[in-house]
Amino acid sequence: MNARKELEQRLALKRRRSLGNMSDEAFEELELAVHNKPADFVDDNEEQAFLLVARALAAHAESRKDDDLLDDMQYAAERDRRNKALVKACQNALALDQNCVDAQTLQLLASDLPQNDLFERLCSLHEDLAKEQGEIEIPAAGDAWANVFARPRLRLQAALARTCINTARFRIAADYCADLMARAPLDALGARYTCALAMARLEDEDGFNWLDAREGRHGNAWFHLSRVLLMYKLGRVPAARRALRGFDQLCTGGAYLLLQPMYVDTYLPDRPTFEPGSFEESILCLHEADPVVCDTPDFAAWASDQPDFLASAQSFCSRNGFEWRDWNEGAQGPRLG
């Protein structure tokens, strides 16, 4: 979430609305002025609350920069401190505007609730907003994400869909994702990635193929891994082997991450940005896919037994200076800071 940029967009649009007729050139000058000093244009509690959220997220991101220097106990203490600070900032924002959706969502995500409790709270918030504000409208232009004021609710629904994956509510996850893609077809939030994992777990080959075709069959880590899982679950082992080779070849570090999962912290509030085809993409994919992988008996062991897959994973580990750990140690690979 680029909260600073969204704040600037919100403020500029509100000021333009209050001033009435404004030429495009004048609006460009207004946007520049807002960009330079956004706080000067905050003149209602709604945007003051959003400003607090933006500042809190910036402080949260800044506090993560030295995580790689911390040992596990120090990291846990620092993570707890900054999440409590974020929750407090959200409470302050909600004191100004009790309807600040991003503050409500972030407060829940940063509270480290058990996943089933988190699902219930996010679902309740989502349903309450639908009752109070109606469904998120699809604008004439065709993509709700173009409306910056609709984005908080879209982010909430994307977080809810990912929580459905984490709590084995795969059909509900697919339904939320389908609704998101209908309302925001350009899918800035990557609901299609979550949907691909859900389709694989549901063994819904038609649904997965529809989704793959919708994306022009370009593929990425989520789609490549989901195809492997789908073929494996359907018992089509030769196709699963071919898909596994493709996953290994096309997803940087994918084999290593499947066998040696990395820790990824809670998304606050949405999926971090990544370069297509990068190791970061594979990290995020395997993190999100973990509930599906764990729910697919013997899948990781089967993949490890396929020709050259284990060797590829260990080679990547060695080349990048990571530590390889045996399954019987019960430990995960290096933490993502």
Question: Would you give per-residue pLDDT tens digits along the chain (337 residues)?
Answer: 999 999 999 999 999 988 888 888 999 999 999 999 999 999 999 999 999 999 999 999 999 988 888 888 999 999 999 999 999 999 999 999 999 999 999 999 999 999 999 999 999 999 999 999 988 887 777 899 999 999 999 999 999 999 999 999 999 999 999 999 999 999 999 999 999 999 999 999 999 999 999 988 888 999 999 999 999 999 999 999 999 999 999 999 999 999 999 999 999 999 999 999 999 999 999 999 999 999 998 999 999 999 999 999 999 999 999 989 875 444 344 333 3
In sequence order, what are the beta bridge partners of 335? 263
Distance CA 249, CA 230 (A): 18
The DSSP-derived string for 286-328 is: HHHHHHHHHTSTTHHHHHHHSTTHHHHHHHHHHHTT-----GG
Domain positions in the chain are 113-189, 192-337
Residue 155, Cβ density class (10 Å: 0-12 exposed, 13-18 middle, ≥19 buried):
buried
pTM of the predicted model as reported, rounded to 2 decimal places: 0.92
Q: Nearest-CA neighbor of 299 among 219, 240, 211, 238? A: 240
